């Protein structure tokens, strides 16, 4: 009975970590899109995305901005996609799901 309870406990803990990270990545994508919508260039958007994820490792972020800064026009859209690989630390869960889970979120806003 103990292995089953441990699997359930570690599953709940890892689900909370994955869900919390997914919320943080969604927040980062929204912050980047908002920053791009008010006229920031690509390097400023990437910097804003990385600083919005305060508890995450900024070296692991992958940020894709569409369209690039030279082709954004007022009234058009700017989209920011953020990917982040999260390492699973629970020993029982990592056997089932794999060592990492890639979390991705994107947001599109109209350029002002």
With contact defined as beta carbons under 8 Å apart, do 2 and 78 qualify? Answer: no
> Which H or E run includes 80?
strand 77-87
Which pLDDT tens digit goes with each residue over 100-110? 999 999 999 99
Angle at the Cα of 18 from the Cα atoms of 63 and 64, rounded to 5 degrees? 10
Please give the DSSP secondary-structure letter assigned to residue 79: E
71 pLDDT tier (thresholds 50, 70, 90): confident
Contacts of 38 by beta carbon, 8 Å cutoff, 6+ apart: 112
Average pLDDT of the chain to the nearest whole number: 90
Q: Which two tokens stand for residue 60?
A: 């692991």
Q: Tell whether the model's pLDDT for residue 68 goes beyond 90.
A: no
pTM of the predicted model as reported, rounded to 2 decimal places = 0.84
């Amino acid at each position: 009975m103990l292995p089953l309870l441990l699997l359930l406990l570690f599953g709940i803990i890892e689900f909370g970590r994955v869900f919390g990270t997914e919320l943080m990545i969604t927040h980062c994508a929204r912050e980047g899109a908002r920053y791009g919508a008010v006229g920031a260039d690509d390097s400023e958007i990437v910097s804003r995305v990385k600083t919005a994820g305060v508890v995450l490792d900024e070296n692991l972020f992958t940020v894709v901005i569409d369209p690039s800064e030279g082709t954004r026009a007022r009234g058009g859209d700017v989209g920011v996609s953020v990917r982040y690989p999260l390492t699973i630390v629970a020993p029982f869960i990592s056997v089932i799901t794999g060592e990492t889970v890639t979390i991705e979120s994107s947001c599109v806003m109209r350029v002002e």
